[in-house]
């Protein structure tokens, strides 16, 4: 398998994982906005804690990014994922902000209960 094929497979997997976690974050935001917490909300929050732990262990880098680096010398922020370069660059800031807002909304709901 060539390096470009390996990079393509990593980019595809990385994009799928990214889409999954964006869906989880947006679900948490939805739960907070519609004032509805459930067991699934707790599972989603737990998945985000695990994701945060992985990023913390790998010093704010996705392990797939580190793997992709082996097959590319590109300096672009989106060398390892199928996202526009600006979104790849600010991805963590954007979605961490949305996640924090979701947590605040969830905390507000817990305080009412």
Q: For 50-104, what is each residue's pLDDT tens digit?
A: 999 999 999 999 999 999 999 999 999 999 999 999 999 999 999 999 999 999 9
Residue by residue, DSSP assigns 36-78 as ---HHHHHHHHHHHHHHHHHHHTTT--HHHHHHHTT----STT
Task: State pTM to two decimals.
Answer: 0.92
> pLDDT value at position 113?
64
């Amino acid at each position: 398998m060539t390096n470009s094929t390996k990079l393509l497979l990593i980019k595809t997997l990385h994009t799928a994982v990214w889409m999954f976690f964006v869906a989880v974050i947006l679900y948490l935001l939805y739960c907070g906005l519609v004032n509805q917490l459930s067991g699934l909300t707790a599972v989603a929050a737990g998945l985000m804690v695990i994701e945060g732990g992985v990023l913390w262990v790998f010093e704010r880098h996705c392990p797939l990014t580190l793997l992709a680096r082996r097959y590319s010398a590109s300096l672009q922020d989106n060398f390892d994922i199928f996202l526009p370069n600006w979104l790849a660059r600010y991805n963590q800031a954007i979605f961490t902000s949305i996640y924090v807002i979701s947590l605040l909304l969830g905390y507000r709901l817990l305080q009412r209960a």
